[in-house]
Amino acid sequence: MTELSTQPEAPTPTQTYGYPEDVAAQLRADAATIIARYPDPRSALLPLLHLVQSVDAFVSPRGIALCAELLDLSRAEVSAVATFYSQYKRKPNGRYTVGVCTNTLCAVMGGDAVYDAVSEHLGIGNDETTPDGAITLERIECNAACDYAPVVMVNWEFFDNVTPERATSLVADLAAGIPVTSSRGPVVQDFRAVSRVLAGFEDGLVDEGGAGGDATIVGLRIAREHGWQAPAFPGDEGASGEHQTDEPDGEHQPAQTGADGATAAGTEPTGEPTTSEPTTDAGAVPGAAEGAAAVGEEQSSAEHAGPIGEAEATGEHEQTKQRTESGEKGAQS
């Protein structure tokens, strides 16, 4: 009779989980590089999932098993993370992910028309892939590029101010294998190559493409032209030793003083602080002001007195409490 083991078979360092041996060896070597970047190995899970996608084009069961072994996690723990983030795919992704933003500003600027045109041209809907495996289409809630709406992303590279016609032409080129260059970045790489970059390995394209366009930095330019700066926090000083100000002409506006004597800038009040007395429908609670003042004195002494002073302050508190209660009883009688 064969005995059933109560423990799963421990993975060996050479276990491939179904990967070809050379692929598994490269994955382990790359994973070791990634894991070494973190003080806690499990912190490497997110880039490791991208590494799996760079080989399988999605987070595969064998990739989950490998990540679990490398990080000493359960497969359920790895799956929980992989299914939480939309950038990790649960089924094989196309060579290019085309994400069309249809959120507020992009929708106002024509994002829905762009999505409909691309969907009709490709013959697929949201989160679907063309039969040839070239393109996966996604309806995106926000591409974080509202200053260039409507925006399409291809493998997370921006294509700005698109029209239905431009978007259709773009996906036609992608399907035909024609290289396309993003509006503010490099030539778009395929999904597997980009996944490897997201795992933390450079592709040498970081310096290709332009920086932020005028629509992105126009606010900064206007602020510089007018000498505007962010409001300073109390105690902040510039290089010259003078306090920074958000006033265009550099004039300092006097801080407004509140009811308790404190200023809006957070400076110390110049007068005695006021005390808010608890009240009832019949008026102020008898003895409340005296009790509050006594408690405040007791707390202050306890904070500064040290261990012996704390014990004395505790005794003073009991005496204060008795005096307060006596005063209230006397007032009520």
Tens place of pLDDT for every residue, the chain, 333 residues?
445 444 444 445 568 899 999 999 999 999 999 999 999 999 999 999 999 999 999 999 999 999 999 999 999 999 999 999 999 999 999 999 999 999 999 999 999 999 999 999 999 999 999 999 999 999 999 988 899 999 999 999 999 999 999 999 999 999 999 999 999 889 999 999 999 999 999 888 877 766 666 777 788 889 999 999 888 888 766 544 444 444 444 444 444 444 444 444 444 444 444 444 444 444 444 444 454 444 444 444 444 444 444 445 455 556 655 665 655 555 554
Cα distance between residue 197 and residue 134, in whole Å: 20
Residue 158 to residues 115, 211, 298, 315, Cα–Cα distance (Å): 15, 12, 63, 69
Cα distance between residue 241 and residue 282, in whole Å: 55
CATH class of the domain whose range is 96-198: alpha beta
Locate the domains of the chain by residue range.
Answer: 21-82, 96-198
User: Residues 151, 105: contact at Cβ < 8 Å?
Assistant: no
Task: Tell me the per-residue pLDDT of 117-175, one tens digit each, with 9 for 90 and over.
Answer: 999 999 999 999 999 999 999 999 998 889 999 999 999 999 999 999 999 999 999 99
Phi, psi (rounded to 5 degrees) for 3: -85, 135
| pTM as predicted | 0.62
Listed residue (66, 129, 136) closest to 97, CA to CA: 136
User: Residues 274, 260: contact at Cβ < 8 Å?
Assistant: yes
| Per-residue pLDDT, 249 | 47
| β-bridge mates for residue 280, sequence order | 283
Task: Tell me the per-residue pLDDT of 282-309, one tens digit each, with 9 for 90 and over.
Answer: 444 444 445 444 444 444 444 444 444 4
Helix (H, G, I), strand (E, B) or coil at 190: coil
Cα distance between residue 149 and residue 107, in whole Å: 8
User: Residues 229, 246: contact at Cβ < 8 Å?
Assistant: yes
Cα distance between residue 317 and residue 313, in whole Å: 6
Burial bucket for residue 44 (CB in 10 Å: 0-12, 13-18, 19+): buried
Instruction: Compute the chain's Rg from CA coordinates.
Output: 33
| Per-residue pLDDT, 177 | 95
For residue 150, is the peptide bond before it cis, meaning its omega torsion is within 30 degrees of 0?
A: yes
Provide the CATH topology of domain 21-82: Arc Repressor Mutant, subunit A (1.10.10)
